[in-house]
Structure 1
Amino acid sequence: MKILQPKPFFFNKGNKAVILLHSFSGTPNDMRLMGRTLERSDYSVYAPMFAGHGTSEPLDILEKGHPDIWWQQVLDAIEFLKQEGKDEFYVFGLSLGAIFATKALEECPEVRIGGVFGSPLYADTFASVRSAFLTYARKVYEIHDMDEVELDKKMRLVDSKIDLMLTNINKTADTVANKLPELDKPYFIGQGTTDEMVDPEKAGLVAKDVKKAKLHWYEAGHVLTINHAHKQLESDLLKFLENN
């Protein structure tokens, strides 16, 4: 099987443009299946890669990334699509990307429709994200055959830096969540019933607060864009776009 090196992708098709935002420690590769489906339905699709992601060093995410930097990348993505001549803009995000997709809907008048998959909005805790990131970091280092001393040193460094990052993400998420009752644009919510990264019940609370929310449940885990629910998610998303 060919492994795609993580990088942003742009599928240039119609004037309607969809921005797809990946998750924390994820890459645009996680959005590629959805991107191709949208492309086949004549949507242009752009998936930027958040700063610090897509490298073989997990510390890059914690040292080179920041919610302010990632938000600027979303604004840059919209500007890029304008330069490409697109005139309708939709933004959807997975997990971390869900925060910024929602922020784009709230703050960017040109973004008409958007939504979230496995959204952490209204989350009470980011403990599961912390645990998952440490597991991810350890796996990446083990793949590179790092000796135990160096591995331990790296993991202690990750452990010392992750909390500040999660605090910053949480602050951004809270600011975005506080504006949800004011959001008056079509808002797609895709949520897995067996999601272990975020509390699935929070999706229902978000749906109640957003006037034009459409909540879709899937018997699946967190990464809906690539797990066994992805085809149903893509079908539901296309219908949502066509009906709005």
Structure 2
Amino acid sequence: MRLMGRMFERNDYSVYAPMFAGHGTSEPLDILEKGHPDIWWQQVLDAIEFLKQEGKDEFYIFGLSLGAIFATKALENCPEVKLGGVFGSPLYADTYKNVKKAFLTYARKVYEIHDLDEVEIAQKMRVVGSKIDLMLTNINKTADTVSNELPELKKPYFIGQGTTDELVDPDKAELVAKDVKKSELHWYEAGHVLTINHAHKQLESDLLKFLENN
């Protein structure tokens, strides 16, 4: 999200992008052991409170992938958040099979980069495998709660979705757009991480227009 944050900053928006607990480290297990949907939600609330203390009184929120769940939850539950949007959102997902596969691949690559031998990697991967299903179950519960409230969402809602997204089903974006009355669905010929792949410039342009028009 840093690239997008810098873009907003250049266009005179104040930006705050907290790091979700467990993310941004060289140990994939941190996400599974230090993170939790309740912790991440509290971080969102803390971020809003921090910005209030900084004198801000109107808030826009955007989230990528996992962050999309909590950006939407903030729109549903926090009156001071006026509008927002999501990119590569997992809402309405039938399965997290692709997410699990991608996380396991990511974890192994990280351990290989850190020159662990095969025995050490196997030990680490067994721990990851023992914890990931519970985490995905907890994330899914939160996503289901957020999804159930989508028809009540009356705020402007930007949906950015890649047509070749390998982690979430692109077709679900249409279901979300149908449920949210003030939604704008934008398609991109790109994969999951729209904020940094080749679609990011068009995404940034569309977001600026969205903010200007709302």
Would the TM-score normalized by the shorter structure come out above 0.5? Answer: yes
Q: How far, CA to CA, are the matches of 2:81 and 2:167 in structure 1?
A: 28
CA offset at residue 227 of structure 1?
A: 0.1
Which residue identity does 1:219 align to in structure 2? Answer: E
CA offset at residue 56 of structure 1?
A: 1.0
CA offset at residue 207 of structure 1?
A: 0.2
User: 1:134 corresponds to which residue?
Assistant: 104
User: 2:42 corresponds to which residue?
Assistant: 72
What is the 5 A alignment of 1:1-244?
31-244=1-214
CA offset at residue 40 of structure 1?
A: 1.1
Q: Which runs of 5+ in 2 are unaligned?
A: none
Higher strand share: 1
Q: Deviations over 1:166-205 (max 9, x none)?
A: 0000000000000000000000000000001000000001
Q: Deviations over 1:58-80 (max 9, x none)?
A: 11110010000000000000011
CA offset at residue 140 of structure 1?
A: 0.6
User: 1:8 corresponds to which residue?
Assistant: none
Q: How far, CA to CA, are the matches of 1:221 and 1:148 in structure 2?
A: 31
SS at match of 2:92: coil
Q: How far, CA to CA, are the matches of 2:108 and 2:48 in structure 1?
A: 35
Which residue identity does 1:213 align to in structure 2? Answer: S
User: Cα RMSD between the aligned structures?
Assistant: 0.5
Q: How far, CA to CA, are the matches of 1:149 and 1:191 in structure 2?
A: 39
Which residue identity does 2:102 align to in structure 1? Answer: A
Which residue identity does 1:50 align to in structure 2? Answer: F
Which residue identity does 1:33 align to in structure 2? Answer: L
SS at match of 1:191: strand
Q: Which runs of 5+ in 1 are unaligned?
A: 1-30
CA offset at residue 41 of structure 1?
A: 1.0
Q: Deviations over 1:97-139 (max 9, x none)?
A: 0000000000000000011000000000000000000001001
The count of residues paired between Structure 1 and Structure 2 equals 214
Q: How far, CA to CA, are the matches of 1:151 and 1:72 in structure 2?
A: 33
CA offset at residue 36 of structure 1?
A: 1.0
SS at match of 2:15: strand
Which residue identity does 1:166 align to in structure 2? Answer: L
Structure 1 runs (4+) greater than 6 angstroms displaced: none
Q: How far, CA to CA, are the matches of 2:142 and 2:176 in structure 1?
A: 16
SS at match of 1:92: strand
Which residue identity does 2:2 align to in structure 1? Answer: R
Q: How far, CA to CA, are the matches of 1:177 and 1:42 in structure 2?
A: 32
